[in-house]
Amino acid sequence: MYNAEAYAASSATSPLTSTKIKRRDPTERDVQIEILFCGICHSDLHQVRNEWSDVMPTIYPCVPGHEIVGRVTKVGSAVQKFKPGDLAAVGCMVDSDRTCPECRAGLEQFCPNLTLTYNFPDKHLGGVTYGGYSGSIVVDEHFVLRVPSNLSLAGTAPLLCAGITTYSPMRHWGVTNGKKVGVVGLGGLGHMAVKFAHALGAHVVVFTTSASKKDDALRLGADEVVLSRNSGEVQKHAGSFDFILDAVSADHDINAYIQLLRRDGNITLVGAPEKPLAVAAFALLFGRRSLSGSPIGGIAETQEMLDFCGAHNITADVEVIPIQKVNEAYDRLLKADVKYRFSIDMASLKS
């Protein structure tokens, strides 16, 4: 065991503050990583403030962060994919049982014995896992990703959650060249969805409540931008979309989007509104449409996504901050005052 610098919350109402946490010495299959950047995901805020107490109550101290990139500092004797000095990344998962049908299918995100990167029982040290708001992390190599060398590291970090969460459902539901894809909500997830859909060759339409985001949406790769409050504009797209990615966590009228799908079209939720969505059955019946949800992606697909980003030079648009500004960043996150993701420069942890 060794001590690592970190930022942790000590209760649901405490700010994140500097602390020291224990990390295990690398076992034979482990990779030790010096964390260079960690993205701030809205989940971090939910978890820190115990807003998911029903399903995933928070154990304190809580060190969040699951959008991690860094450099390998040490590897165990059995590690094959990494050597010290390599770039490496870690996302939302750090372990699973490797033997269940989900794991064997490369879909570790559905493993019943999954270990999430933070706030999950830590099999090695007891207590809970600690995430990426830290100077280093030790992770089994199966859950460590290779990072293309041509990408900015600050913008790569958010790919590990915001990236894979939007890439995976597009691949699953067959977004390819010539398909018409809608993206609802232009935030951390939505802006990645626009980049991926565009790079996959789709005709991309962004639905946003903010007229001010129009130019930005076009810059990110949208072919059209529709103000979602203008129902006439929205209605022009009725029955035309192959796939819509809904990245809105706030309560909203999902039926307005379901009826934009063509026959057999799918709308996938990646945001999780607190209140149940009111879904009109007729909108699904006419056109054999489907409504789904999708959580992150498996390790193999996460690597595929990173390689795709390398090939297409895709990263998240980030505002880089020092760790000392993390609490301020959380407040701004609640006002959607970031384009489009905060990425913490972990060098600041030493200052």
Residue 191 found at the interface with its own copies (CB under 8 A): no
Selected from 292, 300, 328, 337, the binder of its own copies by CB under 8 A is 292
Minimum CB separation of residue 179 from its own copies in Å reads 15
Residue 279 found at the interface with its own copies (CB under 8 A): yes
Selected from 78, 280, 300, 311, the binder of its own copies by CB under 8 A is 280
Token pair in block for residue 223: 């072919």
Minimum CB separation of residue 76 from its own copies in Å reads 31
Residues 6+ apart with CB under 8 A from 14: none
Residue 110 found at the interface with its own copies (CB under 8 A): yes
Nearest to 340 by CA among 191, 156, 185, 193: 191
- Residue pointed to by tokens 């990425």: 343
Residue 269 found at the interface with its own copies (CB under 8 A): yes
Query: Cα(149)–Cα(146) distance, rounded to whole angstroms?
Result: 9
Return the range that interacts with its own copies (CB under 8 A); candidates 12-20, 175-183, 201-209, 277-285: 277-285
Query: Cα(119)–Cα(128) distance, rounded to whole angstroms?
Result: 5
Minimum CB separation of residue 276 from its own copies in Å reads 4
Nearer to its own copies, 211 or 272 (CB): 272
Nearest to 343 by CA among 95, 17, 11, 37: 37
Residue 98 found at the interface with its own copies (CB under 8 A): no
SS3 250: coil
Minimum CB separation of residue 151 from its own copies in Å reads 27
> What is the residue-wise DSSP string for 94-134?
EE--S-SHHHHTT-GGG-TT-EESSSSB-TTTSSB---SSB
Selected from 123, 238, 295, 337, the binder of its own copies by CB under 8 A is 295
Token pair in block for residue 221: 């790769």
Minimum CB separation of residue 28 from its own copies in Å reads 31
Give the phi and the psi of residue 19 in degrees, each rounded to 5: -155, 180
Query: Cα(204)–Cα(243) distance, rounded to whole angstroms?
Result: 10
Minimum CB separation of residue 175 from its own copies in Å reads 15
Nearer to its own copies, 117 or 134 (CB): 117
Site for its own copies in 141-160 (CB under 8 A): none
Return the range that interacts with its own copies (CB under 8 A); candidates 35-43, 74-82, 286-294, 303-311: 286-294
Residues 6+ apart with CB under 8 A from 16: 7, 8, 9, 48, 133, 326, 327, 330
Return the range that interacts with its own copies (CB under 8 A); candidates 19-27, 191-199, 289-297, 317-325: 289-297
Does the CA dihedral 232-238-242-243 come out positive or negative?
Answer: positive
Selected from 244, 271, 326, 330, the binder of its own copies by CB under 8 A is 271
Selected from 291, 299, 309, 329, the binder of its own copies by CB under 8 A is 291
- Residue pointed to by tokens 């034979």: 28
Residue 242 found at the interface with its own copies (CB under 8 A): no
DSSP-derived letter for residue 194 is H
Selected from 13, 177, 276, 335, the binder of its own copies by CB under 8 A is 276
Minimum CB separation of residue 252 from its own copies in Å reads 11
Nearest to 106 by CA among 294, 304, 307: 304
Element housing 169 (H / E): helix 162-172
Site for its own copies in 24-83 (CB under 8 A): 55
Residue 178 found at the interface with its own copies (CB under 8 A): no
# chain residues binding its own copies, by CB under 8 A? 34
Minimum CB separation of residue 204 from its own copies in Å reads 22
Query: Cα(5)–Cα(25) distance, rounded to whole angstroms?
Result: 15
Site of interaction with its own copies (CB under 8 A): 55, 102, 107, 110, 169, 172, 255, 263, 266, 269-273, 276-295
